[in-house]
Structure 1
Amino acid sequence: MANDDKKKVQLRSASWFGTNDKNGFMYRSWMKNQGIPDHHFQNKPVIGICNTWSELTPCNAHFRQIAERVKNGIREAGGIPVEFPVFSNGESNLRPTAMLTRNLAAMDTEEAIRGNPIDGVVLLVGCDKTTPALLMGAASCDLPTIVVTGGPMLNGKHHGQDVGSGTLVWQAHEEYKAGRISLDEFMAMEGSMSRSAGTCNTMGTASTMACMAESLGTSLPHNAAIPAVDARRYVLAHLSGMRIVDMVHEDLKLSKVLTRDAFINAIRTNAAIGGSTNAVIHLKAIAGRIGVDLSLDDWNHGKVVPTLVNLQPSGKYLMEEFYYSGGLPAVLRRLGENDWLNKDALTVNGRSIWDNVKEAACYNDDVIRPVDNPLVASGGICVLRGNLAPRGAVLKPSAATPALLKHRGRAVVFENFDHYKQRVNDPELDIDASCVMVLKNCGPKGYPGMAEVGNMGLPPKLLKQGVKDMVRISDARMSGTAFGTVVLHVTPEAMELGPLAAVQDGDMIQLDAHNGILQLEVSDEELAARLEKLKASQVIFRTGGYLEMYRERVLQADEGCDFDFLVGCRGAAVPAHSH
């Protein structure tokens, strides 16, 4: 676009900096204490850089360097970069779970964008919840927006073998509990797992959400997979900084990119990559902010798509190999060639998603499998319904044991996570490999924030017998790096007195993932009587603070766990302030 054309666009920031009155004087004067010259206030787009940098969020600890590259790009394209912090919720350190503060980070992002003199936004995201949180907040403002992810860390290395971050923890801990490795060996793996800056290098939630951002069209091609320490990550950050300036001039708002077609593309992409179940909740929340109708049943669009990406925890490789093999563009091309892609969906570079990927190369057919040789024939997220989950539950078939996808077993019930920890190690626990482990009160309200405890570790007594997997059911979430036949997000949750709350030891439960069924073999009358008894004895605890607001206003998993009052796009308009 020619410079003359660019000057015709009415910049939002001009209502702060473009007037020759008292207010304009004050806004410009205070900004000038940073050494900004006069001509920078004359019709140059002001680009906000939402930075989730934090040394307490190790995945995002390198974002200062990435932000500088974004700034270089913004300046080159004729924009003014302004970097500001937003709440950084890292999954690895934050207790009880980063999901508890996802909505808080989204609120922070939304109000920071709307309340400041910003024409366009770059979202610097990485660790699991920072990507959906910032997209949620930005979607409620609907300005030109581009996502820059921090990238995955390099492959972990242990005893000459590649090891995946997160997945190694679950695998090694089970081996240790089963007595197959020593404590010294287990502890030696700790330093092998995380050997560079970046997010988890498996197809966990961070990598999944980076792929969701790219498949939604909100980032430049290849953003999802370039390793954090690869120089090409800096190049992409620079180019993203340049591109956001043009997006402002083109008035390419987020609502033009985040269409229903884009969300269906993301759902199908999640199937192809073997992505995290957490994407179900996050995509619903983002869709709710931009005003796109997306339901749990829309995940059935992914059932026809095979899992093509051979990455841990579902497969063998890690994110480095994924990038070197062609990254997400190679996956999207294979989807498009099989009519599994809405090809006309617009992306932030101004081109359709198909134009971006139709010539993308794949360099390794074992890492990114051809459609006729998939990792799993029917990928995606399996949506389950029945009297145990009237509003749905989910399961990730690519991480499950095929033989357990149709199973009937006796329930062994844990009333909450503390009860599970007390009971699971008891050698006298009445449990065998055919049982179904049931965990209650770990949903959005029950374990505030819906912690990633759904992939319950198996009882040591069974691990020592060689049992590797069992059916597990809960209203909790599961880390994207985890694996197993795990039914998650049972809705309504136990704390809301959903049917899950009424399950008792010895009840028979039927799982049929092939037909989407999750059934408790208890009569409707008995179920109703149990729930009525529980209702009479229920005690509501008052905690005060954010936690109390969270419990009162959070929606259920099928609605994206957003706050009820945050759903919707409120736009970027803000009343003028007069000093």
Structure 2
Amino acid sequence: MSHTKSRPLRSAQWFGTADKNGFMYRSWMKNQGIPDHEFQGKPIIGICNTWSELTPCNAHFRKIAEHVKRGIFEAGGFPVEFPVFSNGESNLRPTAMLTRNLASMDVEESICGNPVDGVVLLTGCDKTTPALLMGAASCDIPAIVVTGGPMLNGKHEGKDIGSGTAVWQLHEAVKAGQITLHEFMSAEAGMSRSAGTCNTMGTASTMACMAEALGTSLPHNAAIPAVDARRYVLAHMSGMRIVDMVWEDLRLSKVLTRQAFENAIRVNAAIGGSTNAVIHLKAIAGRIGVPLELEDWTITGRGTPTIVDLMPSGRFLMEDFYYAGGLPGVLRRLLEAGLLPHPDALTVNGNTLGENTRGAPIHNEEVIRPLDRPLVADGGICILRGNLAPRGAVLKPSAASPALMRHRGQAIVFEDFDHYKSRINDPDLPVDANSVLVMKHCGPKGYPGMAEVGNMGLPPKLLAQGVTDMVRISDARMSGTAYGTVVLHVAPEAAAGGPLAIVRDGDWIELDCGAGRLHLDISAEEMAARLERIQNMPAAPNRGGYQKLYVDHVLQADEGCDFDFLVGCRGAEVPKHSH
């Protein structure tokens, strides 16, 4: 693409002056063996790397970064790699969600305070994708996303198994007495057999698809397997592209528009994406200044068929999805049916989403189904409201049991996750298949961090009877790899004095997904009396430090769980120099 290489570069305010400050900035950088000509009119491209051996999904990012650098050099830029906090889902306790906002602050300050003209965001594990997009959006400089890609299909006893999803399935089978503990443990090595993120349509794959649907990555970024050589080609091409984006001044605010978010919401329904996307898209939108509400998921997402047949909702895995055509194939289906809301939305390669999509090949119609043969007829995230969730709650229809989408049952209540663990295995628990499992104090403030514990395992005595699903309600989140008729993100949360805090054993609860209703069947007077009794309850203790900052400033789930002081785009005005 032709472009003008004469616009002022941000990095020139560090390296472009013939005075004491320019001398010092260049001199210190030259201790790495950088020749003088690299500072003369070339875009300085930051490579924001979430590599960490404690984040196994991102442990191969050093190699990906090298391919990005090759592309940057080839296009006439100069790459500078820098680390940011890597909040890996698999190892980090109590939950990686607790540090998503911390990572975003790291990204924002690293970009704003350093001499970079554009940035390549190396993302992968669940929270690294939204965290890096949030931080970069607050700066509003040219940025492009390169994810690490999904793992190869898991293999166990001659069958494909999905990372994460297999854990939930096999663990329930152990509790039901269907398999032995040895059989359960034997699946461990085969589930995660290559570099990369979860190979199911979990949160990592969902957010990679969201990044592509938003237009912040090159086509096919979402699905190329981590160990496929085409992943490195895409990294190289992304490195080349970011240099042109700097010259074109193609900043994130030109890509992350209201139209882009509506496209992403529609795509999330079509792929059967994780409920976590609701929180992360809201947070990203808040940083760039785009209004986005829970109702947008109803207006834009509902009525959209889920056409991607992937675990946990379906049969296949991300490796199959890429070979079938990847996200461009899904976008083509939506485009041809008139279901892509804004095909003219701009993407980072300079083309519109529609231009990137037209004619995209589809090689397997079992994986990417025709619209007249969907996996789920209405796959849009179900937004629920009612006296139990005045500010909303969410449910993923493609992972739920159709028979439970409209349900009335009596509550079995767990005051927190520890109470759930101590009570769920009790053979005398007064529970049956019609009961509604309710867990409190697992939201943003309550856990803290809103851990992925909402998909509560079922009582063993019901599993032994053949029960495979129940309605479950909490203010927690659920892993994107999990499944079931699970109501999540109840807002306000129990720890913030929401009505969830007052539910008692035996209370009747009504769920009606079609009507978007979640109702606690007690009188208004009884509800008011119960709420008054909890108003003066002491706050949950926390460790202080960052956890205190988190609890004091985190917004509720319907607002994206960002910090109140981080919402908004602050730009990347060059800070005053200190010399």
For Structure 1 versus Structure 2, the TM-score category normalised by the shorter chain is: over 0.9
Aligned to 2:165: 167
Give the TM-score, by structure 2 length.
0.99
Q: How does 1:364-513 map to 2 (within 5 A)?
A: 364-513=364-513
C-alpha spacing 1:431/1:440, structure 2 compared with 1 (3 Å):
same
Check conservation: 2:10, 2:574, Cα contact below 8 A.
no
Supply the AA of the counterpart residue of 1:495.
A
Rounded Cα–Cα distance in structure 2 between residues aligned with 1:340 and 1:537 = 48
Stretches of structure 2 lacking an aligned partner (at least 5 in a row): none
For residue 30 of structure 2, the aligned residue among 25, 29, 32 is 32
Structure 1 residue 576: deviation in Å? 2.4
Task: Work out whether 1:314 is the aligned partner of 2:284.
Answer: no
Pairwise CA distance, 1:540: 4.8
- Residue 211, structure 1, aligned to residue 173, structure 2: no
**Deviation at 1:337?**
1.2
- Distance in 2, matches of 1:362 and 1:334, equals 9
- What one-letter code is carried by the residue in structure 2 that aligns with 1:271? A
- Work out whether 1:288 is the aligned partner of 2:324: no
Confirm whether residue 273 of structure 1 aligns to residue 271 of structure 2. Answer: yes
Render the CA deviation track for 1:438-490: whole Å, top value 9, x for unaligned.
00000000001100000000000100111000000000000000000000000
Partner of 1:90: 88
Counterpart for residue 522 of structure 1: 522
Q: Structure 2: how far apart are the matches of 1:283 and 1:568? A: 14
Within 1, Cα distance between the matches of 2:337 and 2:135?
34
Partner residue, 1:197: 195
What SS does the aligned partner of 1:140 have?
helix
Quick one: which amino acid aligns to residue 507 of structure 1?
A: D
Q: % of aligned pairs identical?
A: 76
Report the equivalent of 2:155: 157
Tell me the SS of whatever aligns to 1:34: coil
Deviation string, structure 1 residues 109-150 (Cα, Å, up to 9, x no partner): 000000000000000000000000000000000000000000
Q: TM-score, normalised by structure 1?
A: 0.99
SS at match of 2:490: coil
Show the counterpart of 1:66.
Answer: 64
Structure 2 counterpart SS, 1:490: strand
| 1:309-348 correspondence runs (5 A) | 309-341=308-340, 342-348=342-348
Q: Map Cα deviations across residues 149-195 of structure 1 (whole Å, 9 max, x no partner).
A: 00000000001000000000000000000000001100101111000
Asked if 1:9 corresponds to 2:7, the answer is: yes
1:356 corresponds to: 356
Q: 2-side partners of 1:542 and 1:161: how far apart?
A: 44
The answer for the alignment partner of 2:120 in structure 1 is 122
Look up the match of 1:241.
239
Once the two structures are TM-superposed, the CA of residue 542 in structure 1 deviates from its matched residue by: 5.2
Partner Cα distance (2:420, 2:243) in 1: 52
SS of the residue corresponding to residue 421 of structure 2 reads helix
Match of 1:139 in 2: 137
- Deviation of 1:541 (Å): 2.8
Whole-Å Cα distance in 1 between the matches of residues 335 and 524 of structure 2? 46
Aligned with residue 224 of structure 2, among 220, 226, 231: 226
Inter-partner Cα distance in structure 2 for 1:575 and 1:497: 41
RMSD of Structure 2 on Structure 1 (CA): 0.8
What SS does structure 1 have at the residue aligned with 2:491? coil
CA distance in 2 between counterparts of 1:536 and 1:155 reads 51
- Paired residue type of 2:483: F
1:33-69 residue CA offsets vs partner (Å, 9 max, x unmatched) = 1111111111000000000000000000000000000
Structure 1 counterpart of 2:196, one-letter code: G
SS at match of 1:83: strand
CA contact (8 A) 2:316 2:367 kept: yes
Identify the residue that residue 76 of structure 1 maps to in structure 2: 74
Give the Cα separation in 2 of the matches to 1:520 and 1:544. 35
CA shift at 1:304, angstroms? 1.8
Pairwise CA distance, 1:552 = 0.4
Aligned amino acid, residue 380 of structure 1: G
Q: Distance in 1 between matches of 2:539 and 2:34?
A: 57
Q: How many residues align?
A: 577
Amino acid corresponding to residue 354 of structure 1 in structure 2: G
Supply the distance in 2 between the matched residues of 1:220 and 1:323 (Cα, whole angstroms): 14
